[in-house]
Structure 1
Amino acid sequence: MSTCTNFCENLKSIKLDHGVLPSHEELIEQLQFSEDDRERGRLLGTWNDLRKRTHCDFCQLVDKAVSDSADLSDSASVRGDQLISVLIFPREQSFRLSYPSRLGLRLVFIAEDFQHVRGPDTARLVHESGIKASQIKSWVRTCEEQHESCSPERVEQRHRDQWNRIIDFKESATSNFRVLDLELGCIKHVALDTRYVALSYVWGHLPMFKLNVDNFEQLSCEGSLEAIREDLPQTVNDAIDLVMALNERYLWVDGLCLVQDDDDDVSLGVEMMNSIYQGSYFTVVAASGANAAAGLPGIGHSQRYDKQSRHFAEIASDIRMTFLHGIDWHLSRSVYNERGWTLQELILPRRTVIFINGQVYFRCHEANWSQESWADKWVRCLDPDDSNISRIPDVYDTFTSFIWAYQKICEEYSRRKLRSDGDALRALGGIIRPLTSYMETAIIEGLPGYYLDHFLLFISSDGNLRRRSEFGSFSWAGWEGRIMWPRENFVWYNDDGEHTWEMTNIIKYLKNTRIIEWNALDATAHLEQLTSEFWNKPSRLIQLMCEHPDVFPDTENDPNRQVGGSWWSSSTGSHGDMPHWEGNRSFDDRLLHPKRGFSIKAFDLANGQAEFDRLVHHLEDGIEKMVLQNWVAGRNIDVRDALENRSALGPRPLSQNFPPYTVLDFNAISLHLIIGTSAEREHHERSPFSRIPGIPLLSATDQLVGSLHPDNINLLGPPGSTVECLIISRCNTPTAASALLTSDGADTKQPWNLFWILHIVWEDGIAERRGVGQILRSALETAVDPKPEVKKVLLG
């Protein structure tokens, strides 16, 4: 029998104050947690030690929690010698474990009565069989009445009157928004500001009853819904029962509200997803099961209710403990979380009611509540374990908030699966459009056009990306597989060599390291300027060439300032396609504080009158209103065209949001280097920040001058072969797993003199990306033949 630690003995002697569980401070005192314990945790021993302590209920609880929480299907399963410590986070009345993660799992006390509770991280026993609609209704009502950030801003009629004389959005001309009217029992066209519930679920591969051209007229008749109920999948039927039990009238379900065999109707609906999910009163997320037959356990016709079987520990008299997982943990292990389409459906809504783990959970901007805890007794209670589910920043947030959100969300999306490669952009369009619009930039193959110097540099997690031919190779949409963006571009050094890691540093990186002037050439041969440069001044490309006169002896002609070069364009930033950082306030102030400036592109996101009114309400001066009038004039032309193209089913799409295939047009320095032999790397446990280790790039004299992270290792030549690289931008920090860090004397505390590069291959005059990396400045001087040169590049 293995002896327990002092922690277990102290835990057994915890004292209650008239039956009330101990507070955070009382736990620290009674368990004798030192400052070092709070930072590093109290060691319980190895996993083998815990398993041997069969006499200790707490140790057995930890053993069960570790066993259930660890990914035992992974090669990095729990080892017997794995050390496990217990931690107490600030302001919490529960415990965390050092393994398998400090987030997602809590060891919590159980209270049968709220009078005994000290904090929201306390378990509540679920005695009832089934899920109470009244509890869900209470959660939604509390959020609606007390969470200001969770309710859409309503513009009063008196504020609209001054604009209604000149602005009528004419929503019905361009919106095909329909709902199931559960009172009339049919499909019905409504305005987007109607109060409705949306459903998010996994279709799976089951045959499903859908709205189509042939049954559209029939299902638009009152009473038609009841006749098809038996043909609907269980999840849809349960959602109908739930919404009716909550006394709500309207439900939006994609398969029944978009005409599935009409491509135009579906395309228009997909373009409106940002409005549909963000505008819902709340969204029901059916995250249990693998298809639409799974239902919502405990609701309607789904009689089964998988009440969670908990492992309890009797710590002392009248004191019991169990363990709880955060909603993000449960979602990460669901089929729902593997599907590409469901990501925006989870992120966009203001409120979600999530069915998973045999229970129901509530998530909004200000709270995380569930049946299994007492958290809903706190009006505002955000679970820190829920932070991995990103949220869309507010329309008037900072530039960098949108950059960071775009990066995090696309990284999460990259690990999900799609039925069709062609859906890669459509399935995330409801998120991409708001984020790029608030960054005030054009969308190029799903990328923020103004920020290409950073967003071209995504790195494969395992070097096994699969090419999607429908999209440009320079975009994540052009590849299937998990990717991440380098965090090293958020590192910046000051003049004294001191560095910081901050989100705002990404703007310093873009302003100070840019070399290329980006342009986009779409399928119609329309050239769009993506980055703003002064064409009457020397380009940054010629400045770099002048720094290496031995490599570029002819620097009289600036490649970016020649007639017919990339400096001219048919597009400018005047239409909101480029961010206006130099506004009325200073640059740094614009970055660090909410952006109250005017962006006309935000109006392009509006699909309904109410959304439009909220944006108009924030206009601050006459110039902005004059610009808006020009936008409205263009909108009226769109309305006229939409009415002319309207079919019997409703509006047609005004335009495609993403070109079928866009290429980048720019001048860049091209050089060739040799692929080296990769050193054996120690195996590390997989994490969200994993990236394929860099492969050495060698000079003509076999010196290590760079590191390459291939998109697909099988598409890379063998050691000794040459690769062509394009210099993208300057950088100061080697990326994680870089081959450059394996060299003797590598100093990570000082700024490096590096370039970001893309490895490319050529196909019929179009360059295709095959990897990303970094090279030393000296690589320009020591590259292999053919010698470095400036090339006109079309990157597809």
Structure 2
Amino acid sequence: MEFFRERNLHLYGMVDMVPYISVLAVRPVGQTEKEVPYRSILPHSVDIDFIKRNIKTCVNEHESCRTSEEQADGLNVIDCRSQKVVPAPVGCQYIALSYVWGAKPEDATVGFPQVVQDSIRVTKALGCRYIWVDRYCIDQEDTQKQHIFNQMHRVYSNAFLTIIAGAGRDAHHGLPGVSSGRPKQIKFQLGNLQFDEVFPSNNLALTNSAWATRAWTYQESYFSRRRLCFTEKQVLWICNDCTQAECISSSSRGADHVETPVPLRRHKHVFIIGDMQYDICLYTARLLSYPSDSLNAILGVLQYYVELTTEPQHCGNEPAKGRGNRRALASGIDINHAWGVPLYRERQSQEIMFDVGWRHLKPGTRRPEFPSWSWAGWAGQIHFLESVVAPDMNWSFMTNRHIEVPRDAFHNQTVQGDDAPRGLVITTKVCPVTLWDNSTGHMTNQTTSSKFRVVFQLTETVYAGTEWAPDEVPDEVPDVHGDYLAASFWHKGEVFLDRYVNSFTGQMILRRRDQDFERIGISHMPKVNNPDWFYKNWTYFDAAGNILDLSDDDKEHLKEQDGHWWWYEHAETQRICIF
């Protein structure tokens, strides 16, 4: 058993074998590999026949792996015969590459990096002439390259298959089994038993890869129909219908249900708003080398949803019906986005709702190329809340020159792109607040998972504070009134879809920037006089920061004095602009 422990191997019988990790399969001596559900692989040569068998099955049998997408306009490809970039012939069959470029400097004198060279060899071995590689097929100096970024969903969904370079940390690593070797499987005999190492059959082998952490690779895998994943140990086949491992002779059907770091597009007959939000949340957990790519690297996903709601099954006139929180069907709305933030327009009323109700799971880092009210303006994973800007709230957009732009301009796609206005103008309830850092000694008796508090004055002698989720860790949190505001972006009354009506309200925490403001976080404050939530989530203290242990009578008096919406009642209606 010490032998097994040293090699992190687990021992399974042939019938019970569940190879989520490397295992040793046991079979009687004399039983051939044709009689067992696994196979040996060659360390220095990928099994091309394995790939071709999967391609044949997929092309002939998998309806969900076919596409009706139009070819991307202005598409270039590499001709594997001449190894030159050429305009893609109309309707040409090409393979796409998804990889990590990495930080290693490029040497223009040595031609393509190893991962591209290896991918060209695989492409030719599969009988295909053309391959698409972003670094070479998108002219990096062309001012029109944004045109291709907007069509990334077509580039990858039209690819015959996508090669995923899931090994190594840069483009010079190459593909294992093509230009570099792979680990040799352990095989030995004990008495009448044959022991064979079996590599993992599921695609979790990609979980810890550099490829699975990069932002650009999210939509590349998402739109691919057939994925050929090169890991350190073996090749994995992942199409929209099944998964298959080079080391395992059986397949797993229903790829949508496999736990995987490989993003798979959900093929549904109805569009659900929560799907778009879910993709944005997963995408924001990934890393970018260049902050300016924050939006470009997911434009294909956003454009896919924009186009999806124009399909016949989504063009009904009935308003959307709720199906649980954040899962409302969108058969009666059109989708667009402003700087990556979803815009929903109800076809019947033409009302537009703006989904700015998101927060960071952990503090991130500001990306000044984008508006602070957009998730694209921050590095770090987000989560969507249950509150949005309601359609009947007075809001619009504003240019850097303070020229107001109507809200439907984004939805009509008349102002998308770098020239789009970055300011968000809202007429809403705002309240001056103070930001306190718990670690400085304020509210030290309060047990809370949050380091920061947003505080405002309730009476002449009593202050109230609750947690807030900062977008970034402030260098300093000064106790200054006037430079910080809490601005409500939830509007009283029933809003658009019934799933947005709830017992809480959200506030953007804003920092003054000259005459305008910048979003720096978000807070939840109660709008309903719910005693349990009311007492649990608020702390009361005096002007010196000493926590007050208010009696029940004092709390009842404050509630009677301030009414149900006690934060809302203390705020004033103002017109503010957030950049």
**Under a length normalisation based on structure 1, what TM-score does the superposition of the two structures give?**
0.54
Deviation of residue 364 (structure 1)? 1.2
| Residue number in structure 2 paired with 1:757 | 507
- Kindly provide the amino acid, as one letter, of the partner of residue 232 in structure 2: N
| Residue number in structure 2 paired with 1:443 | 337
Q: Could you say what secondary structure the match of 1:375 adopts?
A: coil
Deviation of residue 526 (structure 1)? 6.0
Query: Of Structure 1 and Structure 2, which has the larger fraction of its residues in helix?
Result: 1
| Residue number in structure 2 paired with 1:791 | 574
Q: Could you say what secondary structure the match of 2:344 adopts?
A: helix
| Residue number in structure 1 paired with 2:534 | none
Equivalent in 356, 361, 364 of residue 456 of structure 1: 356
Instruction: Give matches, 1:579-618, under 5 Å.
Output: none
Aligned: 1:273 with 2:152: yes
Unaligned residue ranges in structure 1 (runs of 5+)? 1-53, 67-85, 87-91, 97-103, 155-168, 211-227, 490-508, 531-570, 578-653, 684-691, 733-750
Equivalent in 111, 121, 135 of residue 255 of structure 1: 135
| Residue number in structure 2 paired with 1:346 | 221
Instruction: Give matches, 1:669-708, under 5 Å.
Output: 669-675=429-435, 677=443, 695=453, 697=455, 699-700=457-458, 702=462, 706-708=466-468
Deviation of residue 197 (structure 1)? 0.7
Whether the 8 Å CA contact 1:149–1:365 is kept in 2: the answer is yes
Whether the 8 Å CA contact 1:443–1:658 is kept in 2: the answer is no
| Residue number in structure 2 paired with 1:189 | 87
Aligned: 1:776 with 2:526: yes
User: Following the alignment from structure 1 to structure 2, what is the Cα–Cα distance between the partners of residues 455 and 708?
Assistant: 19
Aligned: 1:330 with 2:330: no
| Residue number in structure 2 paired with 1:520 | 397
Q: 1:116 to 1:472 in 2, by over 3 A?
A: same
Whether the 8 Å CA contact 1:346–1:352 is kept in 2: the answer is yes
- Kindly provide the amino acid, as one letter, of the partner of residue 269 in structure 2: D
Q: Could you say what secondary structure the match of 1:399 adopts?
A: coil
Aligned: 1:399 with 2:271: yes
User: Following the alignment from structure 1 to structure 2, what is the Cα–Cα distance between the partners of residues 428 and 357?
Assistant: 27
| Residue number in structure 2 paired with 1:200 | 98
Whether the 8 Å CA contact 1:313–1:322 is kept in 2: the answer is no
Equivalent in 124, 138, 151 of residue 244 of structure 1: 124
User: Following the alignment from structure 1 to structure 2, what is the Cα–Cα distance between the partners of residues 477 and 176?
Assistant: 27
Aligned: 1:728 with 2:489: yes
Deviation of residue 665 (structure 1)? 2.2
Whether the 8 Å CA contact 2:506–2:524 is kept in 1: the answer is yes
Deviation of residue 187 (structure 1)? 2.9
Whether the 8 Å CA contact 1:297–1:359 is kept in 2: the answer is yes
Q: 1:764 to 1:246 in 2, by over 3 A?
A: same
User: Following the alignment from structure 2 to structure 1, what is the Cα–Cα distance between the partners of residues 425 and 187?
Assistant: 60
Whether the 8 Å CA contact 2:431–2:487 is kept in 1: the answer is yes
Deviation of residue 181 (structure 1)? 2.2
Write the deviation string for residues 116-151 of structure 1: whole angstroms up to 9, x where unpaired.
Answer: 55xxxx654435642022221221221111110101
Deviation of residue 469 (structure 1)? 0.9
Deviation of residue 393 (structure 1)? 3.6
Write the deviation string for residues 50-83 of structure 1: whole angstroms up to 9, x where unpaired.
Answer: xxxx5796xx49x9379xxxxxxxxxxxxxxxxx
Equivalent in 471, 489, 498 of residue 370 of structure 2: 471
Equivalent in 393, 409, 415 of residue 279 of structure 2: 409
Whether the 8 Å CA contact 1:270–1:430 is kept in 2: the answer is yes
Equivalent in 368, 382, 387 of residue 255 of structure 2: 382
Deviation of residue 758 (structure 1)? 0.9
After TM superposition, the structure 1 stretch with the greater mean CA deviation from structure 2, 254-263 or 696-705, is 696-705
User: Following the alignment from structure 1 to structure 2, what is the Cα–Cα distance between the partners of residues 655 and 675?
Assistant: 36
Q: 1:528 to 1:186 in 2, by over 3 A?
A: same
Deviation of residue 363 (structure 1)? 1.1
User: Following the alignment from structure 1 to structure 2, what is the Cα–Cα distance between the partners of residues 312 and 386?
Assistant: 32
Equivalent in 157, 161, 185 of residue 282 of structure 1: 161
| Residue number in structure 2 paired with 1:76 | none
Aligned: 1:662 with 2:577: no
User: Following the alignment from structure 2 to structure 1, what is the Cα–Cα distance between the partners of residues 446 and 24?
Assistant: 43
Q: 1:712 to 1:516 in 2, by over 3 A?
A: same
User: Following the alignment from structure 2 to structure 1, what is the Cα–Cα distance between the partners of residues 158 and 136?
Assistant: 18
Equivalent in 150, 162, 181 of residue 305 of structure 1: 181
Deviation of residue 189 (structure 1)? 1.5
Write the deviation string for residues 141-164 of structure 1: whole angstroms up to 9, x where unpaired.
Answer: 21111110101139xxxxxxxxxx
User: Following the alignment from structure 1 to structure 2, what is the Cα–Cα distance between the partners of residues 332 and 474?
Assistant: 31
Deviation of residue 769 (structure 1)? 0.8
Whether the 8 Å CA contact 2:426–2:576 is kept in 1: the answer is yes
| Residue number in structure 1 paired with 2:556 | none
- Kindly provide the amino acid, as one letter, of the partner of residue 442 in structure 1: N
RMSD, aligned α-carbons: 4.2
Whether the 8 Å CA contact 1:514–1:729 is kept in 2: the answer is no
Deviation of residue 335 (structure 1)? 1.9
Equivalent in 51, 58, 65 of residue 143 of structure 1: 58
- Kindly provide the amino acid, as one letter, of the partner of residue 770 in structure 1: I
Q: Could you say what secondary structure the match of 1:429 adopts?
A: helix
Write the deviation string for residues 655-705 of structure 1: whole angstroms up to 9, x where unpaired.
Answer: 96454552222211112345563667698xxxxxxxx67746465254656
Write the deviation string for residues 15-71 of structure 1: whole angstroms up to 9, x where unpaired.
Answer: xxxxxxxxxxxxxxxxxxxxxxxxxxxxxxxxxxxxxxx5796xx49x9379xxxxx
Alignment: residue pair count: 493
Deviation of residue 110 (structure 1)? 5.9
Whether the 8 Å CA contact 1:368–1:375 is kept in 2: the answer is no
- Kindly provide the amino acid, as one letter, of the partner of residue 231 in structure 1: G
- Kindly provide the amino acid, as one letter, of the partner of residue 397 in structure 1: H
After TM superposition, the structure 1 stretch with the greater mean CA deviation from structure 2, 776-785 or 421-430, is 776-785
- Kindly provide the amino acid, as one letter, of the partner of residue 269 in structure 1: I
Query: Of Structure 1 and Structure 2, which has the larger fraction of its residues in strand?
Result: 2
- Kindly provide the amino acid, as one letter, of the partner of residue 198 in structure 1: A
Deviation of residue 323 (structure 1)? 6.9
Instruction: Give matches, 1:519-668, under 5 Å.
Output: 519-522=396-399, 525=403, 527-530=405-408, 657-659=417-419, 661-668=421-428
Deviation of residue 435 (structure 1)? 2.1
Q: 1:724 to 1:783 in 2, by over 3 A?
A: farther
- Aligned-residue identity in percent: 20
| Higher RCO structure (Cα 8 Å, ≥6 apart) | 1
Deviation of residue 788 (structure 1)? 1.3
Write the deviation string for residues 541-586 of structure 1: whole angstroms up to 9, x where unpaired.
Answer: xxxxxxxxxxxxxxxxxxxxxxxxxxxxxx597x6x8xxxxxxxxx
Q: 1:136 to 1:757 in 2, by over 3 A?
A: same
Whether the 8 Å CA contact 1:699–1:783 is kept in 2: the answer is no
| Residue number in structure 2 paired with 1:550 | none
| Residue number in structure 2 paired with 1:15 | none
- Kindly provide the amino acid, as one letter, of the partner of residue 444 in structure 1: A
User: Following the alignment from structure 1 to structure 2, what is the Cα–Cα distance between the partners of residues 752 and 238?
Assistant: 54
| Residue number in structure 2 paired with 1:568 | none
User: Following the alignment from structure 1 to structure 2, what is the Cα–Cα distance between the partners of residues 316 and 442?
Assistant: 65
Deviation of residue 479 (structure 1)? 0.7
**Under a length normalisation based on structure 2, what TM-score does the superposition of the two structures give?**
0.72
- Kindly provide the amino acid, as one letter, of the partner of residue 424 in structure 2: L
User: Following the alignment from structure 1 to structure 2, what is the Cα–Cα distance between the partners of residues 693 and 387?
Assistant: 33
